Amino acid sequence: MPPRQQRRRSYDQYCASARALDAVGDRWTLLVVRELLGGPRRYTDLHADLPGVSTDVLAARLKDMEAQGLAIRRRLPPPGAATVYELTPRGVGLLPVLTALAEWGAPDLTERRPTDAVRAHWFALPLLNRLPAPKVPSVVEVVLDEGVFHLRLGGERLGYGDGPAEEPDVRLVLDSDTCRELGEGVLGVDEAVTAGRITLSGEGPYAAALRGS
């Protein structure tokens, strides 16, 4: 039979929000975007950090996102030849959508269910709009028990990445509960530092700003 390219189900509404949901409203799509916002990823790593998604659905979503110009498939040069998926600028433009979702969903994190999976970089999104803006672009490395991630603040490449930063201006060592309260906005960085819930290291101006105010 011909591989009849079944037209994706659309809301068929002349409305900006409906158009956006046509593109990213499918199950798992925005969570794939959340993963790729942390940098290029291989298929297997995506599958590992999205527990519950089946292999065929993940493949289908990546294909859809590629067809819509949200992500590209790129083959890394040897050595370490592997294919990675990376967001296009259009895909990166979804960052405000995910931060808005994260801000709204943050109160639901008070309940931590035993079935919940956890990854360190999932804490990055709520922090992006809660940390004070630095005067110069700064990189913050965040160390949790669950892993390490980093934030890029104040520059034009606002965003986050999985794993340690190359040259962090500030390093924060804290537990995930403190990190959650920071992301929820019920706790300030300075409060957490003076309360001894954050071990802050770094000598630059942004480190001083986080300590001071």
Partner DNA sequence: CGGCATCCGTGACGATACTG
Partner DNA sequence: CAGTATCGTCACGGATGCCG
Choose among a second copy, DNA, none what residue 138 binds, the Cβ cut-off being 5 to 8 Å by kind. none
Among 5, 6, 115, 213, binds DNA (CB under 7 A): 6
Whether 99 and 153 have beta carbons less than 8 Å apart is answered as no
Residue from the set 13, 69, 74, 83 that interacts with DNA by CB under 7 A: 83
Q: Report in angstroms how near the CB of residue 159 gets to a second copy at its nearest.
A: 14
Rg (CA), the chain: 19
Nearest alpha carbon to residue 153 among 99, 84, 108, 85: 99
With contacts defined by CB under 7 A, name the span among 4-12, 87-95, 135-143, 179-187 that binds DNA.
Answer: 4-12
x/- string (CB under 8 A) for a second copy, residues 73-102?
Answer: --------------------xx-xxxxxxx
Q: Is the dihedral of CA 178, 181, 183, 185 positive or negative?
A: negative
Interface region with a second copy, contact rule CB under 8 A, candidates 58-66, 118-126, 149-157, 189-197: 118-126
Binders of a second copy in range 45-64 (CB under 8 A): 51-52
**3-class secondary-structure state, position 173:** strand
Cβ-in-10-Å burial (0-12, 13-18, 19+) of 115 comes to exposed
Q: Tell me the CA distances in angstroms from 99 to 2, 124, 210, one per residue in order.
A: 41, 10, 22
How far, in Å, CA of 159 to CA of 124, rounded?
9
113 touching DNA, by CB under 7 A: no
Question: Which residue bears the tokens 């949901």?
Answer: 21
Site string for DNA, 45-64 (x = CB under 7 A): x------xxxxxx-xx-x--
**Nearer to a second copy by C-beta: 21 or 158?**
21
Give the residues lining the site for a second copy (CB under 8 A).
11-23, 25, 27, 30-31, 34, 51-52, 93-94, 96-106, 108-109, 112-113, 115-119, 122, 125-126, 183
